[in-house]
Structures are given as structure tokens and as C-alpha cells.
Amino acid sequence: MSESEEDLAAAWGAETEAAATGEPAQPARVLNQAEIDSLLGFDDEPSGGDARTGMQRIISSGLVSYERLPMLEIVYDRLVRIMSTSLRNFTSDNVEVGIDNILSLRFGDYLNSIPLPAMLAVFKAEEWDNYGLMVVDSALIYSIVDVLLGGRRGTAAMRIEGRPYTTIERTLVERLITVVLADLSASFDPICPVTFRFERLEVNPRFATISRLSNAAILARLRIDMEDRGGSMALLLPYATLEPVRELLLQQFMGEKFGRDSIWETHLAEELWATDVELEVVLDEQTVRLSDVVNLVPGSHIVLNTVPGATVQISCGSVRLFEGRVGRRKNHIAVRIEREIPRPQQNERN
């Protein structure tokens, strides 16, 4: 047995003897901060690609990076301005609307984090044929009910826990949701026309599942203040719902067209119309022996089988463009175009 194995056996025997006699064993080795950081993958060196540790892979497995949609942020900014006006008309009170944050997350993670009690409105985007979710928290529900039913100003809205929402409360919140959905449709109008239609109102998140729990979604949290009352509202749109207009939402500004220059396009079109194009007419095609071609000398005659009035094809390079008839004009052979040859479609070429 080697020396290292003997030391290991001696140490093991000492620990066993100490455990049997009840004597305190030697204190275990404590990891320092550098070793802990290295174990968890939090070392200062940047970890890229496959160089990450196993623990770091486990920690980051639940994190998913999503693409940023700049135009959607502009849509929500427009929604805030429109809602400020429409909710003032709806409540006849001074209403301030602000946006807290816009973030991307998994649908299931948000569904499990909704603070209850709350009302969850499922709405459908008609033109996109998909669904979205609007969540109204209890503070905003009681504030809207208090404002619409003439509650006194300066007093906080009464909040009664442990009971289901009444029919009056649900009806008033549905009116609020209808107003917000109309404003959301108006916010999308500059990008693409879309109609958001209210589907149903739920109080249990399990019944408001509009997407797979692992699917990505974008969440916008809105804050609504009515003097000393108010609450928050959340708009959740799955990425699958936004897929029909994804290209439009990726734009940095309205009407963005990468690499587009109208002045250069006009100049190019004018130059193309003034370009000289060389056309070729095939009068006849013959198959001859190579020895006959080699014996051709200046003055040799090649008899063409094309007669006046025969049909020939006119080409530009390797592309056949027209079909015409052979004739004569002022001692010159001429061709009159009869019809245009249709070009084959891309799928036929493949």
C-alpha cells in the first residue's frame, strides 16, 4: 500500500475511533469565498459557451432571452396617453395612467405569480386569430366600483376579503376592460388594424390559460391613479399572438424600411429605361459534322431553311422574350413581333 493510501486509512481510522468513543472529531475543512464562487459559477472570468460550470447551467436553465420589440414599446406609450383621456371620461375623475415596466417571461411563471384575488379578462385579437390576457388587481377593482357608484373622495376604497365578486362589481369591471381594449386597438392602428374583443372574465388563473405554460409572453404592467385611489393592471400578450406582426414590431421607428432609398430607385428606373438591350433572332438551327465546320472558309455558303413568314424566336441572352415572323424591309431582313413568350414560374423551374 502506498504512502498516500496509508495516510488516508489512518485518517479514516481516527475518525471512526473518535465517533465510537464519543470524542469530538477534527473540524471539517471550510471552503473559502473563491472556491464557493468557482463552484457556483460566479467567478470573475467571463464564462462563454460550453465553458460554464454545471451549477451555472442549472441556475441559468430557467432563464430565456427574448428578442426586443421596439415598436411595441411605442404602442404601449401611445396606450398610456389614450387611456388617460378615455378613463377620465369613463370615471368623470382625474385619472393618471403610467407604465411600470415591460418584460418578457414564461406564461406559466406569470400565471403562478398573479396576486389573488383578481379578475382575469381573456380577449381575442380578431385579425391575428389569437388571445391575450388582462389582469385587474383587487385594489383597482374596488377603486373603480367606488368611483363609479359615487364614493366619497378622500377615503380609501373598502376592501372586503374572503368573498367572491358580486355581479355589480363584475359588470363595472367589464365596462372598464371594454374601454381599455378599445384604447389598445387604437394604439395598434398606426402599425396595423386589429380589433381586440372581450371574451370572458375569470377569477381563477387556471381557467384563464390561453397558451402553453412554457411559451414566451410579453407583460406590460400599468399603474392607474385616481387621486387617493387606484391600482394596477397587467396586459399579457404571448409571442405567438404577436407573430403575424412581428416584422412590424421589430422596427426601430414607424415606417422603417432597411436599405430603401426612393431617390436612388427613381434614378435607377430612369437609367434602366434608357439602357440599350441587344436582341438575338434565331433564323435556323442545323446539325452538321465537325469536319464540315472545319472546312468552312470565307465565301462558303450556309443555306438557311427559314422562309419569309416563318415563325422565329427573339431572345435576350439566354432568356426567350418574343415570338415573331420573318420579313423584309428596305432590302433588310426584318422580324415583326407577334406575341410575348410567358416566362416560367419559380416553382416550375425548381
DSSP string, 175-209: HHHHHHHHHHHHHHTTT----EEEEEEESSGGGG-
56 within some domain: no
101 within some domain: yes
What would the grid cell of residue 41 be?
A: 459559477
164 within some domain: yes
Residues 182 and 329 reside in one and the same domain = no
104 within some domain: yes
Residues 313 and 171 reside in one and the same domain = no
Residues 213 and 310 reside in one and the same domain = no
Domain count, the chain: 2
Residues 145 and 234 reside in one and the same domain = yes
222: domain CATH number is 3.40.1550.10
Residues 131 and 240 reside in one and the same domain = yes
Residues 174 and 312 reside in one and the same domain = no
Give me the DSSP letters along 111-127: HHHPPSSEEEEEEEETT
301 within some domain: no
16 within some domain: no
Q: What is the dihedral of CA 46, 51, 54, 57, to 10 degrees?
A: 60
Residues 94 and 204 reside in one and the same domain = yes
What would the grid cell of residue 2 be?
A: 502506498
Residues 229 and 83 reside in one and the same domain = yes
CA angle 295, 279, 286 (to 5 degrees): 30
The C-alpha atoms of residue 261 and residue 331 are separated, in whole angstroms, by 49
* Strand 216-226 versus strand 280-282 pairing type: unpaired
25 within some domain: no
65 within some domain: no
pLDDT per residue of the chain (350 residues) written in tens, 0 to 9: 555 556 655 665 666 665 555 555 555 566 666 666 665 555 554 444 455 565 555 555 554 555 677 888 888 899 999 999 998 888 888 888 888 888 888 888 888 888 888 889 999 998 888 999 999 988 888 888 888 887 666 555 555 566 788 888 889 999 999 999 999 999 988 888 889 999 988 888 888 888 888 888 888 999 988 877 888 899 999 988 888 888 888 876 655 444 556 788 888 888 888 888 888 887 777 888 888 888 888 888 888 777 777 888 888 878 888 888 888 788 788 888 888 888 776 555 44
Residues 80 and 135 reside in one and the same domain = yes
**Whole-number Cα distances in Å, 345 to 322, 323, 342, 348, 349:** 17, 19, 9, 5, 7
**Whole-number Cα distances in Å, 117 to 114, 120, 135, 236:** 9, 10, 10, 18
Range of the domain at 329: 280-293+306-350
The total of other beta-carbon atoms located within 10 Å of residue 242's CB is 19
Residues 102 and 203 reside in one and the same domain = yes
Residues 99 and 244 reside in one and the same domain = yes
Residues 221 and 287 reside in one and the same domain = no
